[in-house]
Amino acid sequence: MKVAVITGASSGLGVEFALAAEKKFPDIECFWLVARRADRLQETADKLGCKTLLISADLSTEEGTAVYRSALEREKPDVRLLVNNAGFGVLGDLAESDPGEQAGMIDVNVRALTVITVCTLPYMDRGAMIVNTSSIASFCPNARMTVYSSTKAYVTSFTRGLAEELRPRGISVTAVCPGPMATEFISVARITGNSKTFSTLPYCDPKKVAAGTMDAAAAGRVVYTPKAFYKFYRFVAKILPHSLVVKMAKT
């Protein structure tokens, strides 16, 4: 069965990814939706016309990724699209932060994304696509979101390396690097009222980000940055020394 796997499909961008993928790739027969909140996964499933398999798992734990791995071994799907989208951020000074929460960010944004990709690759063939949700935070470190921006630097770097590795197998790998979006991310990260930068930056529309990402994946693009403003920021962060950009990029 031709399957699309979407992690973080219980809210925000993940929901939009499911809807955009269903529209863009009508040959997909079943959507595997992964996140912790089963009720919210069901709400996403109700929005889709396709068959769904809901996998309620905490991806910050090894048990969580093992639940997904067991589903692969049991169902032996033909994975046409894997969207590694689950993730979260935390705003604030590292010295005053909760070490467990910081480590949890690495577990979900980096470890789970890596483990899920490795487990899924044996079920992917020529023409399949991997999408990794990165961020503009991957272009230059963001003080006060130091761990988050480091995890996203990993995601973009991982994408570039893997895209090159998988080119001969005809599997594309795309990192999408959105700017801020008005999703639950903002409250989870405790951003509201705590960051001048976030209150002045232009926001991206998750619907447009998801549709643009599906086009970018189908075209085999390795890094996709929605919105002209952030394309320009990516260029600036590439040509100027990070010792300079890091001062402007503080959250």
Least Cβ distance, residue 37 to ligand NAP (angstroms): 3
Least Cβ distance, residue 220 to ligand NAP (angstroms): 22
What amino acid occupies position 233?
A: Y
Out of 2, 25, 88, 166, the only residue in the binding site for ligand NAP (CB under 6 A) is 88
Stretch that binds ligand NAP, among 34-42, 163-171, 211-219, 229-237 (CB under 6 A): 34-42
Q: Which residue in 153, 154, 145, 183 sits closest to 8, CA to CA?
A: 183
Q: What are 82's strand-pairing partners?
A: 5, 130
Out of 20, 40, 129, 225, the only residue in the binding site for ligand NAP (CB under 6 A) is 40
Listing DSSP states for 140-153 in one string gives S--TTSHHHHHHHH
Q: Is 85 in the site for ligand NAP (CB under 6 A)?
A: yes
Q: Is 212 in the site for ligand NAP (CB under 6 A)?
A: no
- Residue 40 · residue 208 · CB < 8 Å: no
Out of 4, 13, 55, 217, the only residue in the binding site for ligand NAP (CB under 6 A) is 13
Residue 144, classified by CB atoms within 10 Å of its CB into exposed (0-12), middle (13-18) or buried (19+), is middle
Q: What are 9's strand-pairing partners?
A: none
Annotated catalytic residue 203: no
Q: How far apart are CA 71 and CA 81, in angstroms?
A: 16
Instruction: Give contact residues for ligand NAP (rule: CB under 6 A).
Output: 8-14, 35-37, 40, 58-60, 64, 85-89, 108, 133, 135, 178, 180-181, 183-185, 188
Residues with a known catalytic role: 148
